[in-house]
């Protein structure tokens, strides 16, 4: 908790936001005990945690990263627009209408573990069981991480993919293969992707898999279907890869780029629901 203490004692820090995948019971209790005495506003976004688990801290609960950002901005007198659910619904219906009858499943391929878990937490209430190599419940664990089952979300940042090779935010080749593999399944309807910018990641995250995205769409088109690809890009114009450049690359290939990962997961779920 040294990092938390540094922010707590920093006079320039007005609001603290804690973001994590779901911690274990003992780790969660340690965090709760530590932050409950903090006089600064603290927002807790621990993926999959319920409000009741966070309530003993006396601090703000955020169900997803977008909510966490919105709460933080409110504390400093700013704001963040909520997702336009009506607009997402209209996009979803348009995307779903272009698909063939057998397309029905969502396939998420993620570089970021927190984004992967946010997608699982967001999509499960919408679609039911989501299989994964990092599932919300053990009975939903994939037998093989490279073989999707029904609705599936794969975290390419999990240890099995990083032994002996760089993290997928650097080495995008495994996910590129996954994009083509999912396109080969005639039941795949939606690909859900995340892209992460910064100084210590791939110099062109979107560009490094854009050929695979283009090929995947063509594979599905050749058999009379339509592949919907939904993505979010985490970054800014100050990052070396530039947010606007990365988003433009994706949009040029027909990818729907959402404002954040939460909205991308919502849209992906709505497209699948529109197929039913």
- Domain spans, the chain: 2-75, 85-275
Distance of CA 192 to the CA centre of its chain: 8
162 forms beta bridges with: none
> Is residue 81 within a helix (H) or strand (E), and if so which, with residue range?
none
Model confidence pLDDT, tens digit, residues 53-109: 999 999 999 999 999 999 999 999 998 888 888 999 999 999 999 999 899 999 999
> Is residue 109 within a helix (H) or strand (E), and if so which, with residue range?
strand 105-110
Joined together, the tokens standing for residue 129 give: 């069981």
Q: Please indicate whether the domains covering 2-75 and 85-275 agree at the CATH topology level.
A: yes
- Cα dist from 109 to 15, 38, 47, 115, 192, whole Å: 32, 37, 18, 10, 6
Label residue 107 exposed, middle or buried (CB < 10 Å: 0-12, 13-18, 19+). Answer: buried
Strands of the sheet containing 60-61, edge to edge, are 16-20, 42-46, 60-61
d(CA 14, CA 87): 34
* 92 φ, ψ (degrees, to nearest 5): -60, -45
d(CA 216, CA 80): 34
Strands of the sheet containing 131-132, edge to edge, are 131-132, 152-155, 105-110, 188-196, 228-234, 256-258
pTM across the whole model: 0.93
d(CA 276, CA 274): 6
What stretches in the chain show pLDDT beneath 50? none
Count CB neighbours of 170 within 10 A: 15
Q: Which CATH architecture has domain 2-75?
A: 3-Layer(aba) Sandwich (3.40)
CATH superfamily, with its number, for domain 85-275: Succinyl-CoA synthetase domains (3.40.50.261)
Count CB neighbours of 222 within 10 A: 8
Non-local (6+) Cβ contacts of 181 within 8 A are 146
Report whether 248 contacts 235 (CB < 8 A): no
- Cα dist from 194 to 67, 118, 150, 183, whole Å: 18, 11, 20, 17
pLDDT of residue 142: 95
Q: Which DSSP state fits 124? A: H
Joined together, the tokens standing for residue 68 give: 């966490």
């Amino acid at each position: 908790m040294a990092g938390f203490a540094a922010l707590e004692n920093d006079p320039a820090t007005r609001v603290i936001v804690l973001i994590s995948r779901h911690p274990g019971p003992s780790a969660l209790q340690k965090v709760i005990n530590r932050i409950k005495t903090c006089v600064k506003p603290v927002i807790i976004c621990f993926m999959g945690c319920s409000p009741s688990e966070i309530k003993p801290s006396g601090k703000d609960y955020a169900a997803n990263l977008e909510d966490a950002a919105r709460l933080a901005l409110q504390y400093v007198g700013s704001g963040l627009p909520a997702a336009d659910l009506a607009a997402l619904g209209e996009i979803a219906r348009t995307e779903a209408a272009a698909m063939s009858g057998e397309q029905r499943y969502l396939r998420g391929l993620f570089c970021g573990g927190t984004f992967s878990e946010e997608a699982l937490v967001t999509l499960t209430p919408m679609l039911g069981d989501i299989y994964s190599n990092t599932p919300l419940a053990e009975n939903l664990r994939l037998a093989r991480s490279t073989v999707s089952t029904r609705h599936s979300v794969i975290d390419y940042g999990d240890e099995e993919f990083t032994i002996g090779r760089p993290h997928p935010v650097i080495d995008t080749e495994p996910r590129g293969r996954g994009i083509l593999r999912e396109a080969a399944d005639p039941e795949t309807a939606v690909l859900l992707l995340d892209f992460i910018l910064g100084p210590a990641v791939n110099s062109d995250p979107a560009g490094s898999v854009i050929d695979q995205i283009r090929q995947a769409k063509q594979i599905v088109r050749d058999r009379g279907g339509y592949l919907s690809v939904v993505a979010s890009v985490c970054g800014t114009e100050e990052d070396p890869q530039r947010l606007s450049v990365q988003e433009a690359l994706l949009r040029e290939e027909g990818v729907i780029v959402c404002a954040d990962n939460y909205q991308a997961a919502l849209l992906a779920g709505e497209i699948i629901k529109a197929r039913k």
